[in-house]
């Protein structure tokens, strides 16, 4: 039997690389796999270990086509999947050089596809989602709270999940192309509080910036005192409407364009971050120019300066595209009229004049 199976695999491989193809289907499938384990380790002490007590899945009308396997084949398999469940997951990740020591366990996670209608056009490499309805449930997630050497992140994680446990998390997602509506509903329970989530979005397939939030609400109950400060930040720094319902209870709501959730405060924070990054790069360029001039002085007893300051950097920024003009957000260029130029993420443009005669870089001005 084993030899026959190997021959079958060889046949499939030969067919998949040829111009021919094989199609086969399964009316329905019920599968159960027990005691799964995986471990990866290195001499440096790195360790990745996963153990799963049981995985079960159900599917119907599953069709396979063995010919130049691509993501369409996986998508087809997904559309035939009815449900999948995992019980008894345990995982460990240890990377000493990165100071990562993380472990987690999950009692049960369940994924169910109630309905999915997808039009797959392989010839034109196009996928259209007509409708979707899925459910997801997670029970008793437990993990060691990691530290990222980033005080704000560490503080938030320890405030939100102080005991490293999420006893319950459930949500459902539905979409209908006829009315372009995506709905997300869910609830969760943990030590720092519990909540109910309801979101309805109008999807614009042509322009993601025009996605409209018809309504969104998160109702929070029994919120821990430490989380109240973060809720106040949401009220002060975003366009969410926050209503206090009682001690430890809040309702957070929003409707409008999705892109307008962020407030001017957050936009100004992003702007300040980009200014700091610009200042750091300009400082690096100025230092590189001075080092070049000193080298020239040692060689020729006279200072001279490079034509393009970017040429003297030990490592060019990944967003630098050379000599030319700005054409995309995040881009850095050196212009033909001796300017260092940058286009920010909001597409605003700034430049700094570079004087080749003395190596000085001027102040930031609007492009």
pLDDT (tens digit, 9 = 90+) per residue, 200-239? 999 887 778 788 998 899 999 988 887 888 888 888 878 8
Give the confidence band of 15 by pLDDT, cuts at 50, 70, 90: very low
Model confidence pLDDT, tens digit, residues 275-321: 888 988 999 999 999 999 999 999 999 999 999 999 999 888 888 99
Q: CB 340: neighbour CB atoms within 10 A?
A: 24
pLDDT band of residue 190 (cuts 50, 70, 90) is: confident
| % of the chain residues with pLDDT over 70 | 80
DSSP conformational letter for 248? T
217 membership: H or E segment, kind and range: strand 212-221
- Residue with structure tokens 């199609």? 23
Cα 183 from Cα 36, distance rounded (Å): 35
Question: What CA–CA distance (Å, rounded) separates 38 from 239?
Answer: 45
Residue-wise pLDDT tens digits, 101-149 = 888 999 999 988 888 887 777 676 677 788 889 999 999 998 875 555 5
Please answer whether residues 196 and 168 qualify as being in contact, where contact means their C-beta atoms are separated by less than 8 angstroms.
Answer: no
Domain ranges of the chain: 22-144, 283-366
Cβ(52)–Cβ(88) below 8 Å:
yes
With a cut of 70, say whether residue 66 has pLDDT above it: no
Torsion of CA 251, 252, 253, 259, to 10 degrees: -170
Rg of the chain (C-alpha set): 28
Query: What pLDDT does residue 75 have?
Result: 61
Sheet architecture: strand order including 339-343: 320-323, 332-334, 339-343, 349-353, 365-366
Cβ–Cβ < 8 Å for 161, 145: yes
The burial class, CB within 10 Å (0-12 / 13-18 / 19+), for 141 is: buried
Comparing C-alpha atoms, which of 100, 176, 88 is closest to residue 133? 176
CA-based torsion, 161, 164, 169, 175: positive or negative? positive
Give pLDDT, residue 157.
73
pTM score, whole prediction: 0.59
Q: How far apart are CA 295 and CA 302, in angstroms?
A: 9
Nearest Cα residue to 263 out of 228, 233, 222: 233
Residue 312 carries which DSSP code? G
**pLDDT value for 341:** 95
What residues contact residue 308 under an 8 Å CB cut-off, 6+ apart?
323, 334
| 129's tokens | 């989602």
Instruction: State whether the Cα torsion 324-325-331-334 is positive or negative.
Output: positive
Residue 126 half-sphere exposure toward CB, CA atoms < 13 A: 6
């Amino acid at each position: 039997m084993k030899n026959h199976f190997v021959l079958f695999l060889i046949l499939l491989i030969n067919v998949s690389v040829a111009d021919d193809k094989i199609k086969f289907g399964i009316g329905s499938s019920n599968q159960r796999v027990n005691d799964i384990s995986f471990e990866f380790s290195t001499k440096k002490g790195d360790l990745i270990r996963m153990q799963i007590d049981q995985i079960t899945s159900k599917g119907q009308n599953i069709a396979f086509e063995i010919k130049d396997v691509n993501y369409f084949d996986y998508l087809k398999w997904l559309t035939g999947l009815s449900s999948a469940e995992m019980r008894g997951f345990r995982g460990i990740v240890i990377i000493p050089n990165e100071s990562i020591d993380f472990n987690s366990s999950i009692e049960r996670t369940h994924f169910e596809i109630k309905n999915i209608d997808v039009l797959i056009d392989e010839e034109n490499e196009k996928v259209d989602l007509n409708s979707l309805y899925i459910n997801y449930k997670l029970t008793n997630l437990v993990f060691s709270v990691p530290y990222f050497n980033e005080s704000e992140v560490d503080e938030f994680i320890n405030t939100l999940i102080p005991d490293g446990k999420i006893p319950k998390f459930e949500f459902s997602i539905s979409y209908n192309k006829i009315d372009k509506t995506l709905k997300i509903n869910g609830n969760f329970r943990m030590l720092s509080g519990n909540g109910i989530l309801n979101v309805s979005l109008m999807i614009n397939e042509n322009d993601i910036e025009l996605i409209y939030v018809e309504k969104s609400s998160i109702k929070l109950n029994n919120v821990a005192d430490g989380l109240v400060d973060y809720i106040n930040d949401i009220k002060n720094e975003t366009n969410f409407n926050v209503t206090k319902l009682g001690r430890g209870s809040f309702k957070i709501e929003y409707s409008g364009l999705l892109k307008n959730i962020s407030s001017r405060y957050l936009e100004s924070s992003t702007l300040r971050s980009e200014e700091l990054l610009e200042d750091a790069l300009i400082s690096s360029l100025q230092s590189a120019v001075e080092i070049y001039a000193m080298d020239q002085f040692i060689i020729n007893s006279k200072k001279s300066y490079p034509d393009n300051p970017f040429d003297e950097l030990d490592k060019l920024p990944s967003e630098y595209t050379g000599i030319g003009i700005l054409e995309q957000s995040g881009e850095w260029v050196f212009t033909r009229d001796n300017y260092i130029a940058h286009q920010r993420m909001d597409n605003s443009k700034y430049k700094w004049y570079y004087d080749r005669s003395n190596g000085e870089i001027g102040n930031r001005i609007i492009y």
